Amino acid sequence: MSTTTPSDDIGTRLRLVRQIYGLTQRELARRAGVTNGAISLIEQNRVSPSISSLKKILDGIPLSLADFFTHNFSASDQVFFAAADLAEIAYGESISMRLVGGNLKKRALQMLQETYQPGADTGEEMLRHQGEECGIVVAGSLTVTVGAQEKTLHPGDAYYFRSDIPHRFRNPGPLPCHLISANSPPSF
C-alpha cells in the first residue's frame, strides 16, 4: 500500500530520503565528504556502498543507519494539502469537518477545519474521549463547554483541554463559525 522500498534497494531508498530532505546529490555529497558521482552510482544501484560510505552520506542528511533501514520512507509523506483535498468528515447536518492529511497513517496528531452552521450543536450528551484537543476560532463565534466551564469564543479566541473532560460545542450566532482544531491522539 505505502510507497515503501525493499530493504535491499538501497539506491531507491537513498534517493527517496535525499529528496524528502530536499537535497541535491552535490549538496549532500559536499556535506557528507564524498563525491556526487558516488551518490549517483549508489542511487542507480550500480554499486553497493560500503557501510563507511553509506554512514558518511547519511551523516550528511543527517540520519542514522538504524533509522535509514528501519523507517518506511514514503514519498506520500505529504506535507502540503490543498483546501479542496481535505477529507470531508460527516458530523451531522450542520457541522462539517475537514481533516488535514486524512491519507497519512500512524500520525500522532490530527488537525481539522470545522464549520458550525448557525445553531449547530454537538449535543447535551457531552463528548468524552482519550487525549487532548485544542482549537482556534477563525470566523463567527462558538460556545464551548468544558466540564463546569463555558465560554463563547470569537475569532482569534482558542481553547485547550483534556478530552476526557466532558465537552460540547455550539454555534449561538447568526453566522457560520469556522474553527481550526487539533487532537492528539487522532480520533478519526
Partner DNA sequence: TCCCGGCGTTTAGAATATTCAACAAATTTA
Partner DNA sequence: TAAATTTGTTGAATATTCTAAACGCCGGGA
- Footprint of DNA (CB under 7 A): 24-27, 33-38, 40-44, 46-50, 52-54
Reference 176, options 99, 115, 114; nearest CA is 115
CB of 35 to its own copies, least distance (A): 17
Q: Which does residue 93 touch among DNA, its own copies, none (CB within 5 to 8 A, set by kind)?
A: none
Q: How far apart are CA 151 and CA 68, in angstroms?
A: 48
Burial class (CB in 10 A: 0-12, 13-18, 19+), 142: buried
* Rg (alpha carbons) of the chain, rounded to whole number: 23
Q: Which does residue 118 touch among its own copies, DNA, none (CB within 5 to 8 A, set by kind)?
A: none
Residue with cell 460527516: 90
Q: Which does residue 64 touch among DNA, its own copies, none (CB within 5 to 8 A, set by kind)?
A: its own copies
Minimum CB distance to DNA smaller for 55 or for 178: 55
CB of 25 to its own copies, least distance (A): 18
Q: Which residues bind its own copies (CB under 8 A)?
A: 7-8, 10, 47-55, 64-66, 68-70
Q: Which does residue 33 touch among DNA, its own copies, none (CB within 5 to 8 A, set by kind)?
A: DNA
Contacts of 161 (CB under 8 A, 6+ apart): 132, 133, 134, 146, 147, 167
Minimum CB distance to DNA smaller for 25 or for 181: 25
Reading the block at residue 100, the C-alpha cell is: 488535514
